[in-house]
Each structure stands twice: as C-alpha cells, then as structure tokens.
Structure 1
Amino acid sequence: MTPSSNPPAPPATTDVLIVGAGPAGLALAASLRQLGVDHVLIDRHDDVQPGSKAAAIQPRALEYLDRTGVADRLIQAGDRGRGFRLHDRTQTLLSASYDNLDTPYPFVLLISQQTTETHLLAHLDELGGKVHRGHTFLGYTPDFPGVAATIAGPDGIQRSISARYLIGCDGVHSAVRAATGIGFPGNAPEQLFAIADIRTNSPALPQEDTTFYLSPAGMLLISPLAGGLHRVVGPTPNPATPTADDIRRLLAERGPHADDIQVTEVVSASTYRVQERVAERFSDGPVFLAGDAAHTHSPAGGQGMNTGIQDAGNLAWKLHAVLTGLAPTTLLDTYHHERHPIAAGLVAFTSQFATLANLRDPADGELRNRVLAAAASTPGVTEWIATKLAQLDLGYTNEPDHGPVGTRVSPNTVPTTGLHWTLALDRPDHTGDHGVLAIRHVSGLESPLLVRPDGYLAAYGVPTEPEKVLDQLSSYLPAHPTR
C-alpha cells in the first residue's frame, strides 16, 4: 500500500473510541450514531471476516436491533427457524418451539455472523458512520477524565486518540482487556470444534430448526442457513481445516440416520477451541468491555453473539445519557452490575448444555435421552426452554420487592420507539415525542409505564405529564447494583 492510497487517519479526539468492528462493536457504533454521540470505530482487519462462528439471532437481540432500524433487513437476508431440537439420530427427544413466544419475532433468525456484520456495517454507513480499517490498538494511558489510546495505522505510523471513553469489542484475545489488566477467568477445554457451511444432497438434514444430534460418537449441531446452506459444528480430534470428506464422516457418525449424505460443496470451514470465560469486571474507570472481550461461550444454544449485541444496547444509552448531562457518571457503573450476571449465567448455561450434549458413555447417554423425553412431555418445560434460549427471560432484577422494574417490556405490549425513552399511557390524546422521551398510547394499562431505551422497565406509576417525567428522569435511572 502506498502512502497516497492510505485511508484518512481517525480523528485525534472523540467522546467514545470503540476497538473492534464485530457484531458488538458495530451495534454499539450504530446505536451511538443514532443517538448523536461522537465516536471512532477502529478494526485491525481490512474487511468483514469470513468463517465466523455465530449462525443465529435470537428474538431478544432482534427486538433491540429493531430499535436501531436494522432488524428488517437482517430478517430479509436470513431464514426463520421455528426453534431448537434435541435428536438422538432417529427421533426428536425434545423440541423447543418459538411459535408462541411473546415477541414480534417468534422465530430464531438463521443467518451467519458474516452476513449479520455485513448488514450492520451497511446500516452504520447509512447513518453516516464508518469503520477505520487496518488500525490496531496498542495500548492506552490515563488522560483525565478519559484515556489517550495509541493505535497503529495501515501505514505503520503510530497515532494517539484522546477519548473520554474506551470500549473494547475486540474479541476473545482482547488487547483492550489485556491493557486494563482485567482477569478473564474460566475454562478453556482442550476440545477442538470443526465448523463448516456446506451444501448437501440430503433432505434428511433439518430445514427449519437448529438441531443438536446426540450420539456416543459426540454431539453434532446442524443449522439451516439462507441460500440452501447448512452450518455443521461438532467436536473433532483433527486440527486441520475440515474437508468435504471430514464433514461427510461427521454426518455419517453423528447426524441423522439416512442414506449416504454427500457434501456437494464446502463454502467455508475452520476449527476453533471452545473457551468459557467471563471477565472479572466489565469496566475499569473510563474503559469498558463488550461482546467476546467480556465473555465467551460454548456454541451450544446460540447465545454468544446475541449477548454481545445486548451489551451494546445496555451501554449505548448510558453513554449518551452521561455525555449529554442527562445522568451522572455513576450511571455507567450499572453496566457491569447489570451485564456481568447475565453473561456469567449464560456461560454457565451453555457449558452445562454442552456437557449434557457431549456425554460419550452409552449408558449415560441413554439415561439423558430418557430424561429429555420425559421433560418434553411435562407441561411448561419446552416453553421455559424456548423462552430461555430466545433470551426473553433476561432482566436486571430478581428481587420480588422490586416489582417489575428492570424486567423486559415486550414490544407487543409497548411498541418500540427507536432509542428514545418511552412513556406508555392509556390516553390516546397523549402521543408524540418530547426530546428524548416518546409518548405512546397503550390501551388497557393499569399504570403509566416508563421504558428505558434498551426495552427494560424503568418505572411504573409515573406522572402522565411528559414534562414531569423529564424533570424526574434522573430518579428513574438505575443507580446501584440490582443483583
């Protein structure tokens, strides 16, 4: 690359410096752009990376992405799956259907992470944002009240960016996390996974549901994708990039019992080691972690990328509130206190799920299968599983005396209003926008509701006058740990 072909250097000062343009970084950048927050987004790669692991967007993440205006285009680019199945190679043991979930998106969106990032990037571009490609984060020093970050550009020249806040969205091997000294405890099982997007000649592979095949030979996850593709993921002893023969062998040993399944094309393939880790802290002064930089999961359950997108949703409105003077800086302390328990719980859940799916002893496997079949016939169990996998049960309080504050508000109850705060009233004469507050008529409400920009309940029984709610908005902010 010649000096004349180098892209413009990022600005030397910004309110928010985001490192990493994966799903969490792109979702955060688009949210900040929508809110009018000055930011810089850098990424060391020259383009969206192929061969990424995530293959599904859950309803809760779609609800947030709808607030940023990108959900519809993602839905058009993917396929709608009805839910998840556990299968013993001959029959379904348990099926968790999303059909009756209380959400505008009662399905799991089957779409590759690469496609998701491509559409998030296009949306950011439409909002007037951009990614500064080929820029590597090297470290930072305190520069009250923020940081001075050192980055290296594609020309090899080191530059400094002064930022009020620094956000690490730079993945499992996060340089931002390393620079803070925040620990990343957890497990790194010596288990290698193969992952491949393929085309096959077989109608025996699942066409609607992401399916976990359970066998003594090991787990195999098969998920349909748009364009007639299937994503295949499973443990492997071979560190080499999987070939068509390798994938055919996995399907024959662990997949559906069917006539010989031929792999007609391997579109992409790789191997990776599973890690199950959660950062000790999600923030350190003006530095924050989100996405895989903060937590990394087993692929079981399709939770990781979705959790990172929701990290972005939690952090974006809080940064906006602090930077615009709407809230004190202590509001940002609630990011760790709200998101860390969520991530820790999901990592534990996916780890247990993976352990259950990977039982190799035939007797243990048979017992597991009988338990799953019994659970499937127990009223309420499959509905609970579907709600959990869809992430619709996640909230920021589990203490009964707090009432519903901190719980998710279904968009079927209170329609989304972008990244505004929403005052829901049973008064059709009160609608419209009042600055950061949107007023919506919702018939049948027992009490006025105030909904946060990320879709969680801030308060109920609030005044019906928008001016009073705005005057008292600081009193409805989360101000201390709720777990």
Structure 2
Amino acid sequence: MGGIMTSSAEVPTRTDVLIVGAGPAGLALAASLRQLSVDHVLIDRTTSVQPGSKAAAVQPRTLEYLDRIGVADALVKIGVRSPGFSLHDCEKTLLRASFTDLDTPFPFVLLVSQQTTEECLLDRLLDLGGTVHRDHRFIDFTDDFPGVSATVAGPDGVLRAISARYLVGCDGVRSGVRANAGIEFPGTARESRFTIADIRLSTVAEELIAQDTTFFLSGAGMLLFSPLADGQYRVVSPAPPGMSEPTQHDVQMLLAERGPLSGQATVTEVVRASTYRVQERVAETFRKGPVFLVGDAAHTHSPAGAQGMNTGIQDAGNLAWKLHTVLTGAAGNELLDSYHAERHPIATAMVGFTATFAKLASVRDPLGARLRNDVLAAAAGTLGVTDWIAAKLSELDVSYAQGPAGRLRIGDRVPPTAVPGSDLTWTLATPDLQEIQGLPADVTVRHIPGLDTALLVRPDGYLAASGAPTELLTHLPIA
C-alpha cells in the first residue's frame, strides 16, 4: 500500500479546494474530488500514514459511500466482517443487534484498523492521479475574496501562500483551520481517559470467539472487544487511574476484571497501545464563508458505538459533490449552505447518542447496573428494538428528510439494493423503459421494474426528487 507516499512536487500556489489534513475524512474528500475532476490540494503535517489510530470499525453506510469512490472492495478483502453488536454482563448476553438482515450490500461491520482504511483511501487517490503533499503545516489564512489565501510551511520551513476558492479543515480535534476561522467548538472534556490496545492472544475464551463487536459491562467498568485482521484483537476501556500506555499486564488485568469471568484470554503481545481523553464537542457551524469543517475538526465524541470516523467520511461525501456542482457553475453558492444544514444535526445527534451510550455502559453501582441490565434484556425481547439499534449503529438510518418517517421521502437514503449506486454521478431510476431526452452526460439512467415512480438519486446516495422522469430533470443542477 502507498502509506509513505509523499509528493515531491512543489505545492501549487492556486487551487479550487485546499484540504488540510490527510486522515480518513481528508483522504475521502480528496479521492471524491479527484474522481469528480475538481482541482484541489491536499496537505498534511505528517510524513506518512500514522499507525496506532483509534478507529477500527467501518459501518455499512460508510462502505456504501466508499463503494462509490472505488475503495470498498479493497477494504473488505482485508478486514474482518462482524455480523453484529452485542452487550454482555460477563457471560450473559443482554442484547444483540444483528446486521445480517440490513438492507445493504454490506450487512456487517467491517473491523479494520484506521491505518489500513487510510492506506486504501490513499491508494485510490494515487490511482486517480492525486497526491498528498506531506510534511506541510497549515499556519493560517486570510480572506481573499471570493476565497482565502492560506499560509503553509513546507518541509524546508519556508512559508508559502496558497490561494484557494474554498478551504476545508479535516485537521482533527485541534483543528488549526477551525481556530483561525474563529469557529467555536462547544462541549465537554471528560476527566477520565480511555485506553486502546491492539493485542494478540494465545487462548481465547469462548465468549470472545464470536466475531461480534462486543461490549462487556461490569462493576469495574466497560470493555469493548472486537477481532481485527491478522489475528489481532482491539480492546477499548476506560483507563484505571494512573494508567498511561497500557502494558501487557495492564491489558490482561482489564480483560480479567471487565471481560467474561469464565475461561481465560491470555495476552501474548501488545502490538500498540495508548490512552486519550474523551471530548464531546460539535463545532458551532460547519461552514463559515469559504471555510468548511469535516470529520473530527467538526465533531468529536466517545468511542462508544464506533461512529466518529464513519461520520467524518460521510461528511466528505456530502460536501464533495456540492463543491463540484458549485465550481462547475451548475448551482449557486447557496447549495453549500446545505452542508451545514444537513450534517450538523447528524453530528449533534451522534454525539448525544454516543454520550448516552457511554453513560449507560459506565454505571458502576450494583443496583443501577442491575436495573440497566434488566432494561436492556427487556428491550432485547421487544419487537423492533434490536432492528432500530442495528440501523442506528450502521448509520443506515441517517436521513436529511423532514417530517414523519414512512414512504421514501426527499432526503432519505436510497438503498443500493434498490437503486445501485453510480460512482459519483446522479442516478435517474425509472420503472419503465423509455428514452429520456435532454439528459446531461453525468446522469446514469437505470431501469428498475417495480418502482412506484421514477427516482432521482444524488451522488451521495440520497433521494433528490421523485415523480415523472421529465419532471425530475428540473431538479438536476445543469451547468
């Protein structure tokens, strides 16, 4: 894989889109823009893809988007397909949400390191002819109507100016782009820290053999356990006081105290480990003039539920086609306002959901824990609850529609099983075979018998309009 690729080319002084940060969100945005032939520059302060990253789960909705940009197949070949999500109280299963019946081409959680995800995204970007200008630090920017002039420090320390129509901060929780734009990042930082470790085991307790992503709840604290590729396992848990970088003994104790009580899981190697402080924050706005925030620069949260990286990649998918549409003159600048309007509520809800889940998992007193477990067990037996949880965790429930759910609404996700995706083009799905006049070249027409009406699907897979095919043409942004 192309993990250490660094561009030797001089950074251009002008571009349509300057992307700061080559993590999963920045790479997904760059690959999307490259696929759409949008001129852009991607810079990152590191010299290579970094090991030891936090995310290790790619959700079905994210895989659907990655499939549109040609990354999903390579990633799926490497990762471990997890069929569901389980909550355990030691040996007892309290609740299990299966992904196998989800309406998606990817009915599983793909367990794979963030490093591997970034490498696959980078390989795709390079295949498309793109690059990452590594060892380049974003310093600041000034307004330069109608865009910005950004100052960047190269590997030689020399400051260079890049003029860009749009600036996108994909530069993480400590985003320099966000700070320079003066965008507030309200929320809280927890006093406690989380530990994360990728390990190898010599023997595995029966409760751990299943490929589910499993949360163990105990009086000592929560522990997440999931398999990874190459015979490794991921362990995430609140760090006991005084623990910094967990040792083999530390991880062994966490498994013994917080995992299943029966059987034994013997840790033979800690491949990588770290601790970090959890923050729960959402940026005040995801757009300020020509500046946009994507991924951790826009939102950060508890690792419970494995949502963060996935939400960031979907931010990128939402923004990419809109930048392309505006830059080609097919729509006015106001289309870009819909990025904040659509993604900010999703991020806010996601942070609230993961915070609630983390609090639920962190109940320590015996009476409260017993009550929680009874409620979870009762919920597991209630019709529709585990399906709702599966849809929530998989992010297949993400919708920009207004009003009560029911029939497919404008802004709802259109399942690729119903209308197959078409790269990053618009898709016009019709129930009847008919020739449609006046279609632009970047619209794919699909004949799908059984549809009640024709559907116009956005490049990111959401419904733009429905009705008669000729009427749908009026909803297409055409340059």
TM-score scaled by structure 2?
0.95
> 1:218 is matched with which residue: 217, 221, 225?
221
Given the alignment of the two structures, is residue 278 of structure 1 paired with residue 279 of structure 2, yes or no?
no
**Aligned pair in 2 of structure 1 residues 328, 251: CA closer, same or farther (>3 Å)?**
same
What is the distance in 1 between the residues matched to 2:32 and 2:326? 15
> 1:450 is matched with which residue: 442, 453, 456?
456
**Aligned pair in 2 of structure 1 residues 400, 366: CA closer, same or farther (>3 Å)?**
closer
What are the Cα deviations for residues 228-267 of structure 1, in whole angstroms up to 9, with x where unaligned? Answer: 1100000112342111000000000001123342211111
> 2:397 is matched with which residue: 393, 396, 400?
393
**Aligned pair in 2 of structure 1 residues 430, 214: CA closer, same or farther (>3 Å)?**
farther
Given the alignment of the two structures, is residue 420 of structure 1 paired with residue 420 of structure 2, yes or no?
no
What is the distance in 1 between the residues matched to 2:315 and 2:468? 27
CA contact (8 A) 2:59 2:108 kept: yes
SS across alignment from 1:164 = strand
In the alignment, which residue of structure 2 is the partner of 1:76?
A: 77
In the alignment, which residue of structure 1 is the partner of 2:262?
A: 258
SS across alignment from 1:395 = coil
In the alignment, which residue of structure 2 is the partner of 1:133?
A: 134
In the alignment, which residue of structure 2 is the partner of 1:180?
A: 181
* 1:103-118 → structure 2 map (5 Å cutoff): 103-118=104-119
What are the Cα deviations for residues 292-329 of structure 1, in whole angstroms up to 9, with x where unaligned? Answer: 00000110001000000000000000000000011100
Given the alignment of the two structures, is residue 473 of structure 1 paired with residue 468 of structure 2, yes or no?
no
What is the distance in 2 between the residues matched to 1:142 and 1:270? 39
What is the distance in 1 between the residues matched to 2:7 and 2:302? 39
Structure 1: where are the runs of 5+ without partners?
A: 476-483
CA contact (8 A) 2:466 2:472 kept: no
SS across alignment from 1:211 = strand
Number of residue pairs the alignment of both structures matches: 469
CA shift for structure 1 position 399:
1.4
CA contact (8 A) 1:67 1:417 kept: yes
Q: Which amino acid aligns with 1:108?
A: V
Using the aligned pairs only, state the percent identity: 64
What is the distance in 2 between the residues matched to 1:265 and 1:239? 18
CA contact (8 A) 2:204 2:266 kept: no
CA shift for structure 1 position 434:
4.0
**Aligned pair in 2 of structure 1 residues 229, 35: CA closer, same or farther (>3 Å)?**
same
In the alignment, which residue of structure 1 is the partner of 2:40?
A: 39
> 2:465 is matched with which residue: 443, 459, 465?
459
CA contact (8 A) 1:221 1:234 kept: yes
SS across alignment from 2:323 = helix
Structure 2: where are the runs of 5+ without partners?
A: 1-5
> 1:337 is matched with which residue: 336, 341, 366?
341
Q: Which amino acid aligns with 1:306?
A: N
Moved more, 441-450 or 342-351: 441-450
What is the distance in 1 between the residues matched to 2:475 and 2:283? 34
Q: Which amino acid aligns with 1:132?
A: H
Report the RMSD for the aligned CA atoms in angstroms. Answer: 1.8
CA contact (8 A) 1:47 1:133 kept: yes
CA contact (8 A) 1:431 1:441 kept: no
CA contact (8 A) 2:141 2:148 kept: yes
In the alignment, which residue of structure 1 is the partner of 2:3?
A: none
> 2:382 is matched with which residue: 369, 378, 381?
378
What is the distance in 2 between the residues matched to 1:206 and 1:452? 40
CA contact (8 A) 1:430 1:439 kept: no
What is the distance in 2 between the residues matched to 1:113 and 1:403? 33
**Aligned pair in 2 of structure 1 residues 377, 16: CA closer, same or farther (>3 Å)?**
same
> 1:350 is matched with which residue: 324, 337, 354?
354
CA shift for structure 1 position 206:
4.0
In the alignment, which residue of structure 2 is the partner of 1:60?
A: 61
SS across alignment from 2:230 = helix
What is the distance in 2 between the residues matched to 1:10 and 1:471? 40
In the alignment, which residue of structure 1 is the partner of 2:293?
A: 289
SS across alignment from 1:142 = strand
Q: Which amino acid aligns with 1:261?
A: A
**Aligned pair in 2 of structure 1 residues 220, 430: CA closer, same or farther (>3 Å)?**
farther
What is the distance in 2 between the residues matched to 1:342 and 1:206? 34
SS across alignment from 2:198 = strand
Q: Which amino acid aligns with 1:230?
A: Y
CA contact (8 A) 1:172 1:293 kept: yes
CA shift for structure 1 position 469:
4.6
SS across alignment from 1:382 = helix
